[in-house]
Structure 1
Amino acid sequence: MPKRSTLRLTKRSVDALRPGGKDAIFWDRDLAGFGVRVHATGRKLCIVQSRGPAGLKRATLGPVGDRTVEEYRREAAASIDRIKRGEDPRPPEPAPEPTVADLAALCLKDHVAARCKPATAENYRKSIDGHILPALGSKALKDVAPEDAANLHHALRATPAAANQAIWVLSKMFSLAESWEMVPPGRNPCRHVRHYRATPRERFLTPDEFQRIGDALKTFETKRSMQPSAIAAIRLLMLTGCRSDEILTLQWDDIDRAARVIRLRDSKTGPRMVPLTGPVGKVLDGIEREDGVPWVLRGAQPNSRLSCLSWHWRRVRTATGLHDVRLHDCRHSYASRALALGEGLPVIGRLLGHARVGTTAKYAHLVRDAEKAAAARTGGSIAAWIMPGDAEAA
């Protein structure tokens, strides 16, 4: 057992303690249960001891010198109170400070996965994984300052759109953190970051380019060198102006032949209807339907749907030499063609699904004749280029 002595523990008295042949404990005269253990090696540790409901408990507070004697005395007094209440003498470990990486994971799980469409979710992941986490992932939320956001934005200045997107996502993350009480109000570091002026990318297909894509699809079809569902998907995108996800998630139950509409149940702007024109019907007629599979555009695996067109579209671009044309440009080109045919902006907006759910709800059972006619003229015009000989009147 170590030797026991008592004295008033101060910095001077503790510094003066010398090791003997054995360990020794020196107890404080002012606070019963607070002491210093001096090992035979010369090491000195502040300790605390008291009796509680479970009996005598002793704990080490820390090495002398790490904190002042007075700081250890205050900690000892708190530890004695905990022991007498039957609790652990050591203070509870503080919860680790949440980091930007923690917030990102929570954002993706509780916000993006629950509320965002696949394309939006992909944009979140690109910004988070590609830019935000490499720059700020290990930083505690409380330590992220406005200059961190400004530096991130500046580092991406060569790609203004990506820079703006990263700041938008980071700002959204901190807005969520405030609502989740992970940071106090007013802690968003992106508030004063001025977005770069990004030039909108506009690329519209010409009649010749429509024809080149149509010829390439026909060649792939004849040679059976591309998945039939991918060929059909690209044709439907060009003939309807729909978004990729709207076409890829299409089910046979969405096709209403009697009303001549396609009912999109989960469009970006909510449920909406797309006119089923003659050329669109021709493409759908050419798709082999498989019993028990709800998807119009089947995937390579049993009971699956086609989930991505990127690889197929790259092959189309290579075959046509249109290396700067994105798949989404087919949607822009549909709108451009409709404008060229004299359709009004409100009609085009509805054809593209730009209206809100409340605006499209009035057409629950019937699409306006103007929209049907506009879709027929636009789709028929494009079909004459990409499906020569197969295009039918709506």
Structure 2
Amino acid sequence: MDTEHSTGIAPPDKWTLTKRLLESIAPPSTGRRFVYDAKVPGLRVQVTAAGTKSFQLYRWYQGKPVKVTLGRFPVMTVEQARQAARKLLGEMAEGKNPQTEKRRRQAEAVTLAQTVDDYLSIRDLKPSTVADVRKMMAWGLADWQDKRLTAIRQDMVERRYQALCEKSPACANRTMRYLRAVLNFAMARYSAPDGSPILPANPVQRLTLTRAWKRVDRRRTLIKPHELPAWWQALEQINPLHADFFRLVLLTGLRKSEALELTWADIDLRGRLLTVTDTKARRPHALPLTDYLAGMLERRRCLAVADHVFADHRGRVVSNFRYSQAKVEAVSSVKFCIHDLRRTFITIAESLDIPAYALKRLLNHATGSDVTAGYIVIDTERLRGPMQQVTDYVLKAVGEKESAAVMPLRQKEA
């Protein structure tokens, strides 16, 4: 037994390692002690002052000392350590550096589940997106989570995608798009010891190259003008909180999540202004309140017991509209989903010939590469007119305001 020499040369006295011998070795008072095996060159046991005993291979390779930890005793037996050491010595004989090979194996051992966790922790994603990624991974790729990334091949992706399409083409597309994003991240994040990516190409790319993606048409459903009166009247027969939520979404075009996340701090009743701070576009969205909406929110404010606008009498933000929606559909014979209300708002606004830039501002849509739009600053106050136009149209259609003839809507994609 001896301490490690600074030169890396093993001491001349060696021992035939056995379980009994290793169990009998007392830890040093300080530092580390090394016991070398007489059977396999370079195999040794490191004993620390804390009593930890680890098998190592310690050899010189191309003029430099190489140390590779094999495992801990007694979890790893002496014979297992000898087999692992012989394997590494064989690699060295073939010109391979054991440390480099170990790092390569570790990189290639990264699983899909580990990569998804890294992707979600590093990327700045909205909580709803994080939840959706995990949901789709569990839906379509639950049995792939323990697979090594390097084991995911193009043919596997293609077969799984086709199988998922039999259940739901839309969900299959979402699942594979998330997988593509995760694997693109892996190509940049994980690399072999020589710096090359562990994935030379993204296997999901085959779906694009073979044009295998299924076309999924966007929903185009909305509430038509002649359906609005019955639908509006049916709101009187459901939970008033749910009814006000439906009315607000219809008259503002907000997304469901944006409306649900509204707090009273976001509502300026004196200035007649509503502000959504956490939007899909990652930019605040301010809308003027019409008289109707302001009155509705003032009444709702008097009943409020929590910070959120749409919280029930116990302070819980509402989430389940299923029964109220079913009741409205049964009474009015109008089938709808909550996002249909946003589509209805957009279609009404477009049919009223509201200017395109104002319409984009109402919906908080990006103007993309439109250079002209970059020079146009639309103040929130300038949206009061367009907001009032949409509200007037709806109120006239449902009979709550005197009206001329309600013109048919020119349907526009949301």
Q: Deviations over 1:63-94 (max 9, x none)?
A: xxxxxxxxx96xx323238689x972243357
Q: For residue 245 of structure 2, what is the amino acid of its counterpart?
A: A
The match for 1:80 is 44
* 2:191 is the counterpart of 1:191: no
Look up the SS of the partner of 2:390 in the other structure: helix
Post-superposition offset of 1:360: 11
Unaligned runs of 5+ in 2: 1-11, 19-24, 57-68, 72-101, 192-196, 404-414
* 2:151 is the counterpart of 1:143: yes
Q: For residue 92 of structure 1, what is the amino acid of its counterpart?
A: L
Aligned counterpart for 1:283 among listed residues 283, 296, 315: 296
Give the Cα–Cα distance (whole angstroms) in 2 for the partners of residues 361 and 169 of structure 1: 35
The match for 1:176 is 185
The match for 2:339 is 328
* 2:261 is the counterpart of 1:297: no
Q: CA 1:256–1:57 in structure 2 vs 1: closer, same or farther (change >3 Å)? A: same
Give the Cα–Cα distance (whole angstroms) in 2 for the partners of residues 384 and 353 of structure 1: 26
Give the Cα–Cα distance (whole angstroms) in 2 for the partners of residues 55 and 255 of structure 1: 70
**Contact 1:217-1:231 at 8 Å conserved across structures:** yes
1:6-17 matched pairs, under 5 angstroms: none
Q: Deviations over 1:300-330 (max 9, x none)?
A: 533x33345345334433443334x221011
* 2:130 is the counterpart of 1:166: no
The match for 2:358 is 347
Q: Deviations over 1:195-224 (max 9, x none)?
A: 22222221121113222221111122xxxx
Q: Deviations over 1:153-212 (max 9, x none)?
A: 111223322221111100111123234327635342212213222222211211132222
The match for 2:219 is 201
Aligned counterpart for 2:55 among listed residues 78, 83, 89: 89
The match for 1:27 is none
1:1-394 matched pairs, under 5 angstroms: 33=14, 57=35, 76-80=40-44, 88-90=54-56, 91-93=69-71, 97-111=109-123, 114-118=124-128, 120-134=129-143, 136-158=144-166, 159-181=168-190, 184=198, 186-194=200-208, 195-220=213-238, 226=239, 228-269=240-281, 270-289=283-302, 293-302=306-315, 304-323=316-335, 325-355=336-366, 362=377, 366-369=379-382, 371-386=383-398, 388-389=399-400
Post-superposition offset of 1:263: 1.6
Q: CA 1:313–1:122 in structure 2 vs 1: closer, same or farther (change >3 Å)? A: farther
Q: For residue 42 of structure 2, what is the amino acid of its counterpart?
A: A
Kindly, what percent of the aligned residue pairs are identical? 19
Q: For residue 154 of structure 1, what is the amino acid of its counterpart?
A: Q
Give the Cα–Cα distance (whole angstroms) in 1 for the partners of residues 325 and 15 of structure 2: 75
Greater Cα radius of gyration, structure 1 or 2 = 1
Q: CA 1:238–1:102 in structure 2 vs 1: closer, same or farther (change >3 Å)? A: same
Give the Cα–Cα distance (whole angstroms) in 1 for the partners of residues 13 and 160 of structure 2: 55
- TM-score, L = length of structure 1: 0.69
Post-superposition offset of 1:105: 3.6
Aligned length: 319
Q: Deviations over 1:80-133 (max 9, x none)?
A: 38689x97224335769332223334444554xx52252x34432331111122
Give the Cα–Cα distance (whole angstroms) in 2 for the partners of residues 107 and 312 of structure 1: 38
**Contact 1:278-1:380 at 8 Å conserved across structures:** no
Give the Cα–Cα distance (whole angstroms) in 1 for the partners of residues 14 and 125 of structure 2: 57
Q: CA 1:179–1:289 in structure 2 vs 1: closer, same or farther (change >3 Å)? A: farther
**Contact 1:260-1:276 at 8 Å conserved across structures:** yes
Give the Cα–Cα distance (whole angstroms) in 1 for the partners of residues 280 and 376 of structure 2: 14
**Contact 2:304-2:311 at 8 Å conserved across structures:** no
Give the Cα–Cα distance (whole angstroms) in 2 for the partners of residues 282 and 383 of structure 1: 14
**Contact 1:82-1:88 at 8 Å conserved across structures:** yes
Look up the SS of the partner of 2:70 in the other structure: coil
Q: CA 1:102–1:311 in structure 2 vs 1: closer, same or farther (change >3 Å)? A: farther
Give the Cα–Cα distance (whole angstroms) in 2 for the partners of residues 359 and 271 of structure 1: 17
Post-superposition offset of 1:292: 7.0
**Contact 2:15-2:35 at 8 Å conserved across structures:** no
Q: Deviations over 1:8-34 (max 9, x none)?
A: xxxxxxxxxxxxxxxxxxxxxxx9858
Q: CA 1:360–1:187 in structure 2 vs 1: closer, same or farther (change >3 Å)? A: same
Give the Cα–Cα distance (whole angstroms) in 2 for the partners of residues 309 and 361 of structure 1: 39
